[in-house]
Amino acid sequence: MASLRPPTQDDRIYVAGHRGLAGSAIWRALEQAGHTDLVGARSSEVDLRDRAATFDYLADTRPSVVVLAAAKVGGIAANDASPADFLSENLRIQTNVMDAAREARIERLLFLGSSCIYPKFAEQPIREDSLLTGKLEPTNDAYAIAKIAGIMAVQATRRQHGLPWISAMPTNLYGPGDNFDPEKSHVLPALIRRFHEAAEAGAATVTLWGSGTPRREFLHVDDLGRAIVRLLDVYDDPETINVGVGEDVSIRELAEIVADVVGFRGEIVQDTSRPDGTPRKLLDVSRINALGWRASIPLREGIESTYRWFVTHRAEARLVG
């Protein structure tokens, strides 16, 4: 195994998915940490599902570090409606980038996964060693399997090639640059848009999917960005590492916070015909906390800043698809 060498400010770092929610926050955090040689490409420039194009791009740019944040992502409805697409596209993206990175002998790679990799009924808070100990949540099992395959690819690369590659599993993310489509987005940005439009229209009610009782943990992407910088500097272990807040709220409580921030004063109605998903998903973040990182943005403060971003950037925000 190669010894860990933290990235220097002169190292070229490729952020795959640098225009997405997570990738753009990681890019900002790297810049704030003093890294100046950052590279990225839009999907229209390099389609990471295209193996030849991916190999050519990494061979041309020759980064020292790869942060693999590119992925096909979506909320419960999108995952449940298109599982084959989520499985196929994510497997292709991951495999192409990692194979190209191995061929280019890129020493350091961080693979960004998702907390949906863990069993539906894992013991709470969820430790990293809960992986593969039970059945997955069926509404997003295809996406989860792809992410689990990414973790396995990192571990296999470490064993076979001796490279200090790592993986990190963030909890539910939110923040500037999110997807606000009401059908395809994750729960928090969908709620922000739904309550904003209801407040604008003077609506009497807003419908909330499911029972409202499932509990979720929400991490601001700028906290994630700082976590990734820290992990690139100090983390070198085959086991994936959780990135989260260590606190959760019910979906109903989340909706009430969003409604208050947005200024919606009507009634919140539960549509119990919609799926709840996993009953609770709270990550054990003791390992990353021990490395000197801890989430710092409180949930309400993060929602307020995200809402301000949504209002300011609504014209170019992802509102459909």
Domain edges within the chain: 13-177+217-247+281-298
User: 114: annotated binding-site residue?
Assistant: yes
- Judged on CB neighbours under 10 Å (0-12, 13-18, 19+), 1 is exposed
CA dist 210 and 55 (Å) reads 43
Strands (E), the chain: 13-16, 38-39, 65-68, 108-112, 166-170, 172-174, 205-209, 215-216, 218-220, 241-243, 249-250, 267-271, 280-281
Backbone angles phi, psi at 181, to 5 degrees: -65, 130
The residue written with tokens 């015909």 in the block is 273
Is 222 flagged in the annotation as binding? Answer: no
Tokens of 270: 């539960």
Residue 319 is predicted with a pLDDT of 58
Is 170 assigned a ligand-binding role in the annotation?
Answer: yes
In the chain, which residues have pLDDT < 50? 320-321
15: nearest Cα among 75, 57, 77, 78: 57
Pair 215, 282: CB distance under 8 Å: yes
Considering the entire predicted model, what is its pTM? 0.94
Q: Which of 143, 174, 235, 307 is catalytic?
A: 143
What is residue 94's three-state secondary structure?
A: helix
Question: Which of 3.60.110.10, 3.40.50.1820, 2.40.50.140, 3.40.50.720 would CATH assign to domain 13-177+217-247+281-298?
Answer: 3.40.50.720
173 a known binding residue? yes
Active site residue 143: yes
Overall residue count recorded for the chain in this entry: 321
Ligand-binding site membership of 61 (annotated): no
Angle between helices 21-32 and 221-234 (to 10 degrees): 60
Residue recorded with tokens 């791009």:
57
Beta bridge partners of 166: 110
What pLDDT digit, counting tens, does each position of 205-245 carry? 999 989 999 999 999 999 999 999 999 999 999 999 999 99
Separation between Cα atoms, residue 128 and residue 293, nearest integer Å: 17
